[in-house]
Structure 1
Amino acid sequence: MSSSEDFKKHIEKGYTTKGDFINMGAAMLDGEAVTNAFVKIPLKTLNRHGLIAGATGTGKTKTLQVLAENLSDKGIPVLLMDLKGDLSGIAQPSPGHPKIDERHSKIGFPFEAKSFPVEILSLSEQDGVKLRATVSEFGPVLLSRILDLSETQSGIVAVVFKYCDDNKLPLLDLKDFKKVLQYATGTGKAEFTKSYGRISTSSTGTILRKIIELEQQGADLFFGEKSFEVDDLTRVDDKGRGYINILRLTDIQDRPKLFSTFMLSLLAEIYDTFPEQGDSDRPELILFLDEAHLIFNEASKALLDQIENIVKLIRSKGIGLYFVTQNPTDVPNAVLSQLGLKVQHALRAFTARDRKAIKLTAENYPESEFYDTKEVLTSLGIGEALISALDEKGRPTPLAATLLRAPMSRMDVLTDDELEDVIGNSKLVKKYGEVIDRESAYEMLNEKIEKAEAVAAKEKEKTTSRRKTSTRRRSTAQNPLIKVLTSATFIRGALGILTKILR
């Protein structure tokens, strides 16, 4: 039996699956695809999270596109973070190409061009479904972690939320939260001190500065109503295909604080909302986090701990998280250890540091009698990747250098007219398009302050009037002429003279 036949049996045995699966392509040996040696990822294990890594230009985005398309075809909705703006083409079928046909001939199945149901989402002023959340939905713990507050400052945030709950003051946007902070150390200082203890102005000042920093990255557009309902990410079309929700982030690449704020709030909301489902045969929703280093680079220790906890727990809700980045070292070890599927595109060794990173990356993969992993990592071509997954029993599959299938949809952006059509036909754009600014803590406290100031002004006016009257009385009483004219002796004498005259 030849080495090629041994290898093919090795792959077929390792990637055998009884349930539904995604066919990623054909395994490669000595740089050539072994036709029909399919690398299959069971749907059952896709909620065990994953990583797509590799140097710039090696095909990470196309791999993400292939996974998203096939998940949609299986009726599984997807959320994609589109930081580079090159994923919207999923809404249109691929125009095809002879090189694509040649690739699929090597893999062992024909190429099929398709379009997929797409929803365009936006965190900013770009067109699309507006994603918003209220401050109340964040809660004091999450908000404190996002703002990277100290224990004392976090306590003040908790008091603010408690005060608003006790007084039925809705906390909807950041101006509501800032107003309550200002009220706590201003007009309402006595009220807060009596019920909740003294609040330091220096601490509230620090919190306000951090909120302003968040606002400068565009968070004032994110906080507010109408709140986005995460169930709307799980829609399927009339053909049973899952919607591919594309979040356009091309204009917030330089605002990582806003990006990480949104991601953490979304994951927390999904975790709180979705029911437990244990080990099911298919995931409920898959999220792809492109440029994942933007989340981790700007995250505080508290924020990282929160992300790590969510990654560990959220898979029981049927949610899979896939981190897309240039190097696996961009992802913290505590998160990396939780990932079941790893798709590693080529890495480039230009420096000693690069070679060290490649060595560390190679050690994260199972050993293989067919590959020198370090050598393969630097010799993979575009659209080729090392894949290590989990089988249906949760065991690592054999390491497979894979010639990846081509995306079925367009590998390019939509034209302005095409994008306008997608957004114009969206039901969610209509649902979340209206900005609601109902009466909340900001307006209620302003009204309360105005009433308090009006009462204080009236009291001041009354006090001033009483003082003037008292002053006039004292002035009159102290005048010598008035004293004489109003004395009892003078009055009796005057009355006596009048009596004589009248007689």
Structure 2
Amino acid sequence: MSTKDEFFAHIEKGYATKGDSITMGAAMLNGEAVTNALVKIPLKTLNRHGLIAGATGTGKTKTLQVLAENLSDKGIPVLLMDLKGDLSGLAQPSPGHPKIDERHAKIGIPFEANSFPVEILSLSEQDGVKLRATVSEFGPTLLSRILDLTETQEGIVAVVFKYCDDNKLPLLDLKDFKKVLQYATGTGKKEFTKDYGRISTSSTGTILRKIIELEQQGADLFFGEKSFEVDDLTRIDENGRGYINILRLTDIQDRPKLFSTFMLSLLAEIYATFPEQGDSDRPELILFIDEAHLIFKEASKALLDQIESIVKLIRSKGIGLYFVTQNPTDVPNEVLAQLGLKVQHALRAFTARDRKAIKLTAENYPISEFYDTKEVLTSLGIGEALISALDEKGRPTPLAATLLRAPMSRMDVLTEKELNAVIKSSGLVPKYNEEIDRESAYEILNEKIEKAEKEAEKEKEKPTSRRTTTRRSTRQNPVIKVLTSATFIRGVLGVLKKVMR
């Protein structure tokens, strides 16, 4: 057999699937596509997570688009984090082009233009389905991780949640949480000291400053009601296709703290509410996190540990996480090791640092007798990528330089009119876009403070008596020490059931 025949047999055997799969394109040898040497990804292994990487302009977004389309066609819902605002075209069919037809003839599969069921979501003031969560649903542990608090400060947060539970004070938004902190060291100081021990004003001051920092990134829009129900991400349309949920993040690119806050709360909520799926033949939901370096760039060690834990555990719920970034080194090694599918577009070697990164990237892929991986990484064209996946038995597939198929939907954004039409036809906008500001901790404590102030005025009118001073202990509050322990951490990954509605 010729080398080409050997290569064809090598790819055909390595990517053979008995169950349902997604065809990514045709494998390439010596820079040319080998027609019908199809690179297929089994649906069964798509909950093993993945990475889409490559330099700017090499086709990462189109690869994401191809995966989302084919997942939708298979009845699997998708959530896309759209930081650049260029994914809305999924709602309209591709106009087609002779170069697309030529590409698909080389691959060996016909091209078919199609549109897909799309839902537009928003974390900010942009139009779309509003995503919100209450402070209570976050729980003390996850909130402390987001705020990057010390152990003592985390204990104070746990005490605040316990106080609100004991006194039936709903913690819905950040103003509720700030009000309780202020009350604990102000008007309600005696009440807190009696039942929960003394709380340091310097610690609560630090926590308040970190909350204000979070608010400045727009988190006040995210915390509140009505809480988004993650089951709404798994909708199927009347034709049996999964909805592609596009979260527009174009106006929060410079606010990584808000992005991280949302991502962790969403993943934690999904993990807490989705049932165990076991060894299923298909995933329940796939999430694509574009510009993934924003999650890891400013994350603390505690936050990175939380992300690593979620990545390891959430696949048992049938959830696949796909990180999209320029270089695999943007993703921590502990997370990178958990990613079963890797789609690596071209990397550019302009500096010594770039060359070192290419060498490290090449070492992440299986050794192939058909490729010099380092050389291929710098010579791939637009719409070409190295692919390494898992077969149906969880074994790594052969490395394949792949000519990728073209998206079936439009490779451009929707016009304003088209976007408004998609939002107007949404089944979720009426459910989530009404702002609710019911009575919660903020309003209840304000009433309590007003009552206390009136009583204090009455006390001033009475004769004063001598007071004795007592020395305050500097030891850590024992209640805080206990509440810091894992015994009192709320639920898996700090997520609460929605009980204070």
* Alignment partners' CA distance in 2, 1:195 and 1:458: 25
Partner of 1:220: 220
Once the two structures are superposed, residues 246-286 of structure 1 have per-residue CA deviations (whole angstroms, 9 ceiling, x without a partner) of: 00000000000000000000000000010001110000000
1:353 and 1:453 map into 2 onto residues whose CA distance is 64
**Structure 2 CA distance, aligned partners of 1:228 and 1:463?**
55
For residues 435 and 156 of structure 2, the distance between their equivalents in structure 1, rounded to whole angstroms, comes to 29
Aligned equivalents of 2:353 and 2:456: distance in 1?
69
Can you give the 5+ residue segments of structure 2 that lack an aligned partner in the other structure? 466-501
> Which residue does the alignment assign to 2:293?
293
Aligned runs of 1:230-309 on 2, under 5 Å? Answer: 230-309=230-309
* Equivalent position of 1:149 in the other structure: 149
Partner of residue 158, structure 2: 158
Question: In the aligned structure 2, how far is the partner of 1:72 from the partner of 1:34?
Answer: 27
Deviations 1:421-453 (A, max 9, x none): 000000111100100000000000000111111
Q: Which residue of 2 aligns with 1:493?
A: none
CA distance in 2, matches of 1:378, 1:105: 25
Q: 1:78-89 residue pairs with structure 2 within 5 A?
A: 78-89=78-89
What is the CA-CA distance between 1:2 and the residue it aligns to? 0.9
The structure that has the greater radius of gyration is 1
Output the CA distance in 2 between the equivalents of 1:320 and 1:70: 15
Structure 2 CA distance, aligned partners of 1:4 and 1:90? Answer: 36
Give the 5 Å matches for 1:391-402. 391-402=391-402
Q: Percent identity?
A: 90
Which residue is 1:487 aligned to?
none
Given residue 29 of structure 2, which amino acid in structure 1 is its aligned partner? L
Q: Aligned partner of 2:264: which letter? A: L
CA distance in 2, matches of 1:256, 1:453: 41
User: How many equivalent residue pairs?
Assistant: 465
Name 1:92's counterpart in structure 2: 92
Deviations 1:138-188, CA, capped at 9 Å, x for gaps: 000000000000011000000000000000000000000000000000000
Cα distance in structure 2, aligned partners of 1:279 and 1:379: 38
Alignment-derived partner of residue 61 in structure 1:
61
Partner of 1:436: 436
Q: 3-state SS of the aligned residue for 1:427?
A: coil
1:177 aligns with 2:177: yes
- The 5-angstrom pairing of residues 247-396 of structure 1 reads 247-396=247-396
Partner of 1:55: helix, strand, or coil?
coil
Task: Tell me which amino acid in the other structure corresponds to 1:8.
Answer: F
- Kindly state the Cα deviation for residue 462 of structure 1 after the two structures are TM-superposed: 5.4
Structure with the higher fraction of residues in helix conformation: 1
Residues 5-84 of structure 1: pairs in structure 2 closer than 5 A: 5-84=5-84
Q: Which amino acid aligns with 1:171?
A: L
1:458 is displaced (CA, Å) by 2.9
* 2-structure distance, mates of 1:442, 1:136: 14
Q: Deviations over 1:17-39 (max 9, x none)?
A: 00000000000000000000000
Q: Distance in 2 between matches of 1:297 and 1:9?
A: 42
Query: Aligned equivalents of 2:51 and 2:296: distance in 1?
Result: 14
Following superposition, the deviation at residue 463 of structure 1 comes to 5.2
| Structure 1 position 455, deviation (Å) | 2.1
Q: Distance in 2 between matches of 1:178 and 1:385?
A: 49
State the one-letter code of the partner of 2:235: R
Whichever residue aligns with residue 456 of structure 2, its letter is: A
How far apart are 1:363 and its partner, in Å? 0.5
CA shift at 1:454, angstroms? 1.7
Describe the superposition over 1:269-314 as per-residue Cα deviations: whole angstroms up to 9, x where unpaired. 0000100011100000000000000000011110000000000000
In the alignment, what sits opposite 1:140? 140
Q: Could you state the TM-score of these two structures normalised by the residue count of structure 2?
A: 0.92
Q: CA deviation at 1:461?
A: 3.8
- Secondary structure of 1:160's counterpart equals helix
* Shift, 1:459, TM fit: 3.4
Structure 2 Cα separation of the partners of residues 404 and 264 of structure 1: 32
Structure 1 counterpart of 2:281, which letter? D
CA distance in 1, matches of 2:95, 2:16: 32
CA distance in 2 between partners of 1:209 and 1:458 (Å):
34
Displacement of 1:347 in angstroms is 0.3
The residue aligned with 1:478 is none
Corresponding residue of 1:117 = 117
| Residue-by-residue CA offset, 1:11-59 (whole Å, 9 max, x unaligned) | 0000000000000000000000000000000000000000000000000
Q: Which residue of 2 aligns with 1:447?
A: 447
